[in-house]
Structure 1
Amino acid sequence: MSAQSHPPQASTSAPAPLRLPPRRPHDLSRGLIALLFVACMALVSIPILTHPIPPLSDYVNHLARMHVIAALPHDENLARFYSLEWSILPNLMMDLVVPVIDRVTNIYVAGEIYTLLCFALITAGTLTLHRALFGSWSALPLLAFPLLYNNIFLIGVMNYYFGIGLALFALAFWSLLREKPWPLRFMISAAFVVALFFCHLFAAGVYAVGILSFELARLFGRRDTPLLPRLIDFVASGLPFAIIIPMLIASPTWGLSGQNTWEPQGKLQGVEFVINVYYDIVAFVLTAVVVLAAAWAIQHRLLRTHPLLLPLLLVAGAVYLAMPRVVFATYMADQRFPIAIAFMVLATIQVDLRHRLAQRGFVVVLILLLAVRVGEVQTVWDRLTHWTASFQKSISLIHPGSRVLVAYADIQGGNDPRDLGLVHAACLAIIERSSLVTTAFTVKGKQILRANPPYRNQVDTEDGTPPQIEQLLLTEEDATPDGPRYWDLWPQHFDYVYVLFTERGAPNPDPDRLKMIYEGERFRLYQVIPPKPATPKPATPPAEPLN
């Protein structure tokens, strides 16, 4: 007999084993929690609202695609270069949401709204999951706010970030409905799985880890029930995820299934990414404050954890160590995983704040942590705005409808978090000048954006690293010896070249083909001097006939 025909009978008359009874009074009032949520949301929004083009790596590239989706029917230049291929892709949420917002505002404000929506979704999801697990609202999950800015966020993985928040809500609904009739629970869970799939495949994986951890805790926490029904119920909990298989097979993403790489290095760094942003000292201070506060709470017996915490740490740790670095040709697959688990962990912890000293201490610690984090981000972003303004000024020099090639002067460029904003900044030319840019995301199986056939061989379709300037010099008149590259014979195909991560005063690498028209901090814009057309040889006069 299947688990679906076995709704657990014992639990209909008893509390769910994984929902702890609340202790009252144990926390701040609901009104104060709501007020703190609004205040924290306002504080965490400051860097986003004051920097319409935040210095995040992939963000501008994604935003350029949003602009193409919204403007393509009306922009002749973009229609010449780009087209859209809608399909079942596990990377579509931003594509579905931002162009709709763009109808009532500009693309930069639409991006800000989407980013803040991600923030609100993650923090509200952490609060809701805690409420589902413990049966009461708590202020502790507000500690999710200082974690919103992290190294993974700096990469600009906006679809995945939206998916983290949705996964938290999905796990909360699973917990709330766990002892309800199975059809409703399975139907809602399957709906979440589909939505998470379209956010990002990894977001669906985060939800799967949460469900597996929850069900393991439940499996071993209900030993008064016979083992076989418990095992059947445990296995059946994975049925809502079965819908991913046909969706993935029907997706062009399936064609990338063989592009996986496992790397042992960087696992510890992935954990560090949860708390570290720009300055190590800030991460150290924030961690120390949290550890000391937790130690004080434990000493005074004010802290308790949910039974979900231990299996969550064990399952997530095992999955993290086993995960490849590259999955479905997507880099940093494993390193983006710990931040999602961190929000789940926060939801499994409860602190008794019935004492006034504990309440005041918590509010002070929360505001202090968030103020330090926001201050760090705001300070660095303010310092980086000079390149933003400078890059926009250079963009204005590009003729609309031009073809723009991106190259690196330093192959190590972009490794420093402060350089991340430059990596895809050239995609602003798509938004502002309706240009073709070689680094725009046009990978089949990852995005819906495609370069049209006349230009498809002139853009990066593999998410690779842009060519170094030395590679351009070698392929100025000849193709790459070991195979064709999109930058081959570049003077014939491109109108401008952005060289990123340059040094002030460096000489023009190719004066015969490149004319510098703008130099900014860590980048240069060159106009391509097209090769002169070959001069036809004079016709040879016919030979006079011999007498």
Structure 2
Amino acid sequence: MQVEDRQSSGETLHWWQTRWFVALMVLAAIIPLLKPDIPPLVDLPGHMGRYRVQLDMDTVPWLRDWYNFQWSLIGNLGIDLLVVPLAPVFGLELAVKLIVISIPALTVLGLLWIAREVHGRIPPTALFALPLAYSFPFQFGFVNFALAMAIALNAFALWLRLARLGRLKLRAIIFLPLSVALWICHTFGWGVLGVLAFSAEMVRQHDAMTGRRVPGTLWQRVKRGHWVEAWFKAGLNCLPLAIPMVMMILWRSGEHVAGQTGDWFNWQAKVSWLTKVLADRWQAFDIAATAVLYLILFKGFRDPNVEYSRNLGLSALFLLAVFIVLPRIVFGSAYADMRLAPFMIAIAVIALRPKPGLSIRGASTLAVLGCAFFLVRMGAGTVSYWMFDQTYDRELKALDHVPIGARLVTFVGQRCGNRWFMTRLEHIPAIALERRLAYSNDQWSMAGAQLLTTKYLPAGKFSHDPSQIVTSIQCPREWWRPINRALARFPRNAYDYVWLVQPPAYDPKYNQGLVEVWRDGTSVLFKVDHSRPGIFVSDAEIHPKIIWRAPF
């Protein structure tokens, strides 16, 4: 593939194109995560509970009574594998923090490296894509996915570089094992790398057949010839990436693999994901930042001084097609299409570049604006994560009163509907498992999707996710229980302690047989008095009528 930059190789680099600037942007990307002891990502505490089980299963006998854990080759093992060598050195929490910190850093590095390989210089417009290192899927705590995507971006940059240098045999040798490792980290990263590599190969093969790239707009170039042959040759050159296809088939055809694929073409959800790519805490601020991204993309079509790279433009179109076709639920895992949205936008943004006619002053202005946009988002993210960390510290004081190995059931308050602001407390019960080796009823139990499943039969329907989520009323289309029903129905003989984390208001009569041990505001830890029975009520008596007023 020819470098699509018109600048001469001897031209002086501008400040935003230097290595020191790239290093500073990578360092800036980790600032929000420096303060929190536990990165405040929604699902991450739940994963940390699983890591504790996998590390201590052989030495803590009661864990074997509660959980099944069996190593198997699945496409979702990134951090699960990394904590094995790192946890004995750093401790589990610090090891996880160091790995998670590397994700936004690698994402920023990958985006800038791709831009450098395609354009020959980092265009100032590429800086606007950098805040997507903290995209909504990352905030949700899809850490294996996010790590795989960060690695995939850097792998794609390496793919482009080796093609530019004509080292195609070396590229095939490197990417044979690299594609397998990326699939093991998370299947999604491998799939996206395949889409990006294939689209880039199509452009490179087309250029090789036509002598060089044909001038004209992106749409005019796509219409011109040799694309069928380029498609075929691109597929052949991408064969080194195909080995995980066999692993994928073996994994998903196993006898114990659970989960359905469905909710196709949910346009309402897809539009929502496109507006929430930068969702964190402050809805108006996040939407305004997202609008900036779309304004920059629109600028590529309307501004005569800005154009799209044909290479990355085609990659963005391919990712858009995948986003449209991808269902919301894949093999039982929700939010499949949502995960792709921010990376699709990021590739489209770094596809932009100034045309030769744009003055240095104009390019510098774009670079300053892009850098300011990134730094403002990092500053806001730092404040947001500090606030989440304060909440974690306050709630986790309850664990000082939980004995090692306790049978703990936790109920975390939630409101109905998909809210912009997520408390990041949904899986905080797993920190009890991670720190106190206590039972945690928030673990996922989906055979084939995770290495861990629950087997604590006395807990019944209160043994795994989402039994930890409680609401004030019965939410439509949700498995969450109203808190009155949860407190009335959980099997008291199966548990020693009850931890309520920012619960909705409930009838205090359900505290019968529960002895308060610790309290902070509405959050409270109870010890179950097994000598005193709880209140039994029929379903007809449980009619939650209290509308929850959020305590945050």
Partner of 2:486: 472
Tell me how far 1:526 sits from its aligned partner. Answer: 2.8
**Is the counterpart of residue 68 in structure 1 residue 53 in structure 2?**
yes
**Is the counterpart of residue 314 in structure 1 residue 300 in structure 2?**
no
**Is the counterpart of residue 207 in structure 1 residue 193 in structure 2?**
yes
**Is the counterpart of residue 325 in structure 1 residue 328 in structure 2?**
yes
- Give the distance between the partners of 1:443 and 1:294, measured in 2 at CA: 39
- Give the distance between the partners of 1:198 and 1:516, measured in 2 at CA: 45
**Is the counterpart of residue 272 in structure 1 residue 275 in structure 2?**
yes
- Give the distance between the partners of 1:229 and 1:290, measured in 2 at CA: 35
Partner of 1:147: 132
Moved more, 336-345 or 347-356: 347-356
Q: What SS is found at the alignment partner of 2:425?
A: helix
- Give the distance between the partners of 2:115 and 2:363, measured in 1 at CA: 18
Partner of 1:338: 341
TM (normalized to structure 1)? Answer: 0.80
Tell me how far 1:337 sits from its aligned partner. Answer: 0.6
Partner of 2:177: 191
- Give the distance between the partners of 2:507 and 2:390, measured in 1 at CA: 23
Q: What SS is found at the alignment partner of 1:304?
A: strand
Of the three residues 89, 93, 102, the one matched with 1:117 is: 102
C-alpha contact 1:304 1:350 (8 A) present in aligned 2 = yes
Partner of 1:11: none
Moved more, 463-472 or 323-332: 463-472
Q: What SS is found at the alignment partner of 1:439?
A: coil
Partner of 1:540: none
Of the three residues 114, 126, 145, the one matched with 2:111 is: 126
C-alpha contact 1:88 1:251 (8 A) present in aligned 2 = yes
- Give the distance between the partners of 1:146 and 1:228, measured in 2 at CA: 37
- Give the distance between the partners of 2:77 and 2:347, measured in 1 at CA: 24
- Give the distance between the partners of 1:57 and 1:456, measured in 2 at CA: 24
C-alpha contact 2:501 2:522 (8 A) present in aligned 1 = yes
TM (normalized to structure 2)? Answer: 0.79
Tell me how far 1:65 sits from its aligned partner. Answer: 2.2
**Is the counterpart of residue 496 in structure 1 residue 497 in structure 2?**
yes
C-alpha contact 1:508 1:514 (8 A) present in aligned 2 = no
Residue identity in the other structure for 2:422: D
C-alpha contact 1:409 1:468 (8 A) present in aligned 2 = no
Q: What SS is found at the alignment partner of 1:420?
A: coil
C-alpha change, 1:260 and 1:190, in structure 2 (3 Å) is: farther
- Give the distance between the partners of 1:363 and 1:257, measured in 2 at CA: 45
Tell me how far 1:292 sits from its aligned partner. Answer: 6.8
Q: What SS is found at the alignment partner of 1:431?
A: helix
Tell me how far 1:291 sits from its aligned partner. Answer: 6.6
- Give the distance between the partners of 2:376 and 2:16, measured in 1 at CA: 25
What's the RMSD between the two structures over aligned residues? 3.5
C-alpha change, 1:285 and 1:499, in structure 2 (3 Å) is: same
Provide Cα deviations, 1:166-192, integer angstroms capped at 9, x if missing partner. Answer: 111222233234474754433333333
- Give the distance between the partners of 1:252 and 1:500, measured in 2 at CA: 36
- Give the distance between the partners of 1:451 and 1:230, measured in 2 at CA: 50
**Is the counterpart of residue 420 in structure 1 residue 434 in structure 2?**
no
Tell me how far 1:238 sits from its aligned partner. Answer: 4.6
C-alpha change, 1:521 and 1:326, in structure 2 (3 Å) is: farther
C-alpha contact 2:323 2:340 (8 A) present in aligned 1 = yes
Of the three residues 70, 80, 88, the one matched with 1:95 is: 80
Tell me how far 1:259 sits from its aligned partner. Answer: 4.0
Residue identity in the other structure for 2:272: Q
**Is the counterpart of residue 437 in structure 1 residue 440 in structure 2?**
yes
Moved more, 390-399 or 307-316: 307-316
Q: Which runs of 5+ in 2 are unaligned?
A: 212-225, 468-478, 534-552
Of the three residues 377, 395, 409, the one matched with 1:373 is: 377
Residues paired across the two proteins, number: 503
Among the aligned pairs, what percent are the same residue? Answer: 21
Q: Who wins on radius of gyration, i.e. which is larger?
A: 1
C-alpha change, 1:64 and 1:200, in structure 2 (3 Å) is: same
Q: Which runs of 5+ in 1 are unaligned?
A: 1-15, 476-486, 534-547
Tell me how far 1:94 sits from its aligned partner. Answer: 0.5
